[in-house]
Amino acid sequence: MTEDLDALHTALVERLDTTPAIRDAFAAHPRHRFIPDMVWPDATGSPLYRSTDPGRWTRLVYSADAVTIQANDGGPGPRNEPSSSSSAPQVMADMIAAAGVGEGMRVLEIGTGTGWNAAILSTLVGAKGAVTSVEIDPGVAALARERLTGTGVTVHAVAAPPDGEVYDAVIATCAVTRIPSSWTAALRKGGVLVLPWSPHPAAHSTPIAALRHRGGSVSGRFVREGAFMRDRTQRPGDLPFPGLGRQPVPLEPLAVGSVELIGSGMMTPLLLMLPGVRLGTGMRPFQGRPGRIVWMGAGKAWAYLWPDGTVTGGGERALGEELAEAYRMLREAGLPGVGHFALEAGPDRGSYRVVCEAFDGYWEHAVSS
């Protein structure tokens, strides 16, 4: 079985679209050596044990996806809400490339998880560099520390980076809406912070940005899509589905239906263009059977986009019109993806500006502390 696993890891590495140096670093650390024997493959039900179904465990480990290694912070729950995972390999490679990690660098990782990412970073920085990783969950940190034996990685079971230490690059493996000042304080001027960010704490989409430290501020482009679990200090709690139990009012239709919009790849750009709005997808009865809709919520205002392009909603804010205008701008600009957007965060971290180069637009996102 060890030979089979090693062969699967070799195949995984060969599939990565990245630089030779990053590919070699992945090759040095087989994924199966970092994934625990118990994982959580489904949103409900029991965990999967390697000894019970080794074939399924292996397929999960050597898929292209993330692998959940802890649910509900290690406790029970009605659903298996991921609270620690091994990120998707291609996402890891893209984040490492965006940070420009190389020989001799000092790198800080926020969120150790399995330790696999930290091990890969340790190979890239080499003997002259150093990797420090912080993990908020003591149990997760302890297991990762064991797996990282011999790599030179220092693991701290804390929520924030060590005081007074400065790094060439910071890579966060958890999503935030408010960038902690401790993260930017740990970054040297000119260094790069790579992190999943979204303007609303309840958003499922958390696109990844590479931000350069420019004195008091950080700014840079979004480099790819992402869907990361939240930093535990910034979870939004349970939020109601917008509009439930409220009388809908017909609004102006959109030029595109919900299913087409979801499949267009424009959901994340739209999220970035709609300050203060929760934007997501869900299922609602439509023409006698379940239909996939796009929903919006902001305070007491709400709107649903249906599969046929009709829009219903309510409240004082015209969310349907805002969605239609944002989509019109995207369509006229040729439907630019998330890579055409950039993020600017000032010193106070109370306001974040999203800029789109495709049509010279920007949006201010207010973020509460």
Q: Tens digits of per-residue pLDDT, 61-89?
A: 999 999 999 999 999 999 999 999 999 99
Strand segments, DSSP code E, in the chain are 38-39, 48-49, 67-71, 82-86, 106-110, 130-134, 154-156, 167-172, 187-196, 208-214, 217-224, 249-251, 278-286, 289-298, 301-305, 311-314, 341-345, 351-356, 361-366
Instruction: Provide the token pair at 328.
Output: 């019109």
Residue 281: name the closest of 308, 304, 250, 313 by CA.
304
Q: Alpha-carbon distance 220 to 212, whole Å?
A: 6
Which residues make Cβ contacts (< 8 Å) with residue 10, sequence separation at least 6? 27
The number of beta carbons lying within 10 Å of the beta carbon of residue 352 is 22
pLDDT for the residue numbered 190: 96
Q: What is the pLDDT of residue 34?
A: 98
pLDDT at residue 108 in the model: 98
pLDDT of residue 39 exceeding 80:
yes
User: Would you state the pLDDT for residue 350?
Assistant: 76
Mean pLDDT of 204-212: 97
Most confident of the ranges 162-166, 171-175, 287-291: 171-175
What integer is the mean pLDDT of 199-219? 93
- Look at residue 238 in the predicted model and tell me its pLDDT: 83
Compute the distance between CA of residue 226 and CA of residue 235 in angstroms, rounded to an integer: 17
Tokens at 82, concatenated: 């991921």
How far is residue 337's CA from residue 208's CA, in Å, rounded to a whole number?
A: 13
Mean pLDDT computed over 209-233? 95
- Please tell me the predicted confidence (pLDDT) of residue 76: 93
Maximum pairwise Cα distance, the chain: 65
Amino acid at 135: E
At residue 239, the pLDDT reads 87
**What's phi and psi for 11, nearest 5 deg?**
-65, -40
**Cβ-based neighbours of 70, under 8 Å, separated by 6 or more:** 40, 82, 83, 84, 85, 137, 140
| Average pLDDT, rounded, for the chain | 95
pLDDT tens by residue, 268-286? 999 999 999 999 999 999 9
Q: What sign has the CA pseudo-torsion 117, 169, 150, 10?
A: positive
Q: Is the pLDDT of residue 237 over 60?
A: yes
- The Cα–Cα gap between 99 and 60 comes to 27
Percent of the residues in the chain that have a pLDDT greater than 90, as a whole number: 90
Catalytic residues: 87
As a whole number of angstroms, the distance between CA 40 and CA 47 comes to 5
Mean pLDDT of 107-134: 98
DSSP SS3 for 126: coil
Does the pLDDT value for residue 215 go beyond 60? Answer: yes
Residue 1 pLDDT greater than 60, yes or no: no
Say what percent of the chain tops pLDDT 70: 98
Confidence of residue 3 (pLDDT cuts 50, 70, 90): low
Question: Over 70: is that where the pLDDT of 369 sits?
Answer: no
State the number of CA atoms in the 13 A half-sphere of 48 facing the CB: 20
pLDDT digits (tens, 9 = 90+) for 304-349: 999 999 999 999 999 999 999 999 999 999 999 999 999 999 877 6
DSSP assignment string, 46-102:
PPEETTT-HHHHHHHHTSSS-EEEEEGGGS--SS--EEEEEPPHHHHHHHHHHHT--
